[in-house]
Structure formats: C-alpha cells, structure tokens
C-alpha cells in the first residue's frame, strides 16, 4: 500500500471517528469521573491532614506550657523526645496539607464540552495545518 493512501486512511479515521467532540467526550467520561472521585478523596485527606496539623501544634503548645509552669524540665529526655515527635508529626501533616492544596488547585481546571470540542478542532488543525506534511492528504482538503 502506498504511503499517501495509508496516510489518508489513518487521517480519515482520526478526523471522523476520534477527533469529533462527541467521541472525545465518550473517551474522556471515565477519566473525568475518576478525576471527580480522586478530588473528593483529596478533600477528605486534606481535612484529615489539617486536623493532624492542629493536633501537633496543640501538643507542642502544651509541652511548652509544661516547661513554663515548671511541671517538666526542658533538658529532660522525655520532653525532648515528645517535642521531636510532635515536630515531626507537624512537618508531615504540613507537607501533606500543602501537597493536597496544590493538587486540588490544579484539579480546578474543568474539562467541559466546549474545551473538548476546541481540543478536537485544534488537533484537526494541527494535523492539516500549513506546516504539516499531511495537509496534502485528501482528508484535509475536504
């Protein structure tokens, strides 16, 4: 089979069956649904990480109060161990909160029907544009 004929067949399938808005929406439906589920999971995880952050901050504050009131000695190993544990917990939860915030902010970009249609048009234009070898295909000249 000649290359130009094969190009025409492949391009025709892409243009008519894949890069049309309805088909792109069908293909992306599962992805969008999974994305919504993942964002809901991230929101729950963010809430939990924020709670853990609050717990760690409160625990650090209470440890410092114990030192201030004289109930515990700053040089004691118990104080140092507890403080190190709470600081590590605070660092983990703060890092997790920041990461989830970034993921949720990135996830706010919605893929709409209009965006899918624009993407299909863009891809068709790219395949058949003036700089492309495929622009001479019979599919692009229609």
Give the tens place of pLDDT for each residue, 59-109: 999 999 988 998 888 788 888 899 999 999 999 999 999 999 988 887 666
Is 142 a member of any domain? no
In the chain, the percentage of residues whose pLDDT exceeds 90 is 31
Q: Of 140, 142, 134, which Cα lies nearest the Cα of 4?
A: 134
Contact 28, 116 (CB under 8 A): yes
Q: What is the pTM of this model?
A: 0.56
With bands split at pLDDT 50, 70 and 90, how would you rate the model's confidence at 6? confident
94 contacts: CB under 8 Å, gap ≥ 6: 53
Is 68 a member of any domain? yes
- What is the domain count for the chain? 1
Is 101 a member of any domain? yes
Kindly list the distances between the CA atom of residue 86 and the CA atoms of 47, 63, 64, 103, in Å, as whole numbers in the listed order: 19, 10, 12, 26
Rounded average pLDDT over 54-58: 96
Range of the domain at 127: 3-136
- 141, pLDDT greater than 60: no
Q: Of 46, 33, 47, which Cα lies nearest the Cα of 103?
A: 46
Is 93 a member of any domain? yes
């Amino acid at each position: 089979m000649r290359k130009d004929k094969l190009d025409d067949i492949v391009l025709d399938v892409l243009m008519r069956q894949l890069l049309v808005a309805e088909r792109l929406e069908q293909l992306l439906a599962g992805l969008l649904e999974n994305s919504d589920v993942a964002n809901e999971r991230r929101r729950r995880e963010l809430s939990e990480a924020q709670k853990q952050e609050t717990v760690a901050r409160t625990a650090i504050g209470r440890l410092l109060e114990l030192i201030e009131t004289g109930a515990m000695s700053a040089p004691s190993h118990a104080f140092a161990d507890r403080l190190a544990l709470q600081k590590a917990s605070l660092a983990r939860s703060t890092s997790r909160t920041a990461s989830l915030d970034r993921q949720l902010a990135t996830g706010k970009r919605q893929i709409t029907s209009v965006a899918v249609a624009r993407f299909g048009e863009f891809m068709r234009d790219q395949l058949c544009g003036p700089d492309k070898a495929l622009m001479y295909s019979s599919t692009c000249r229609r």
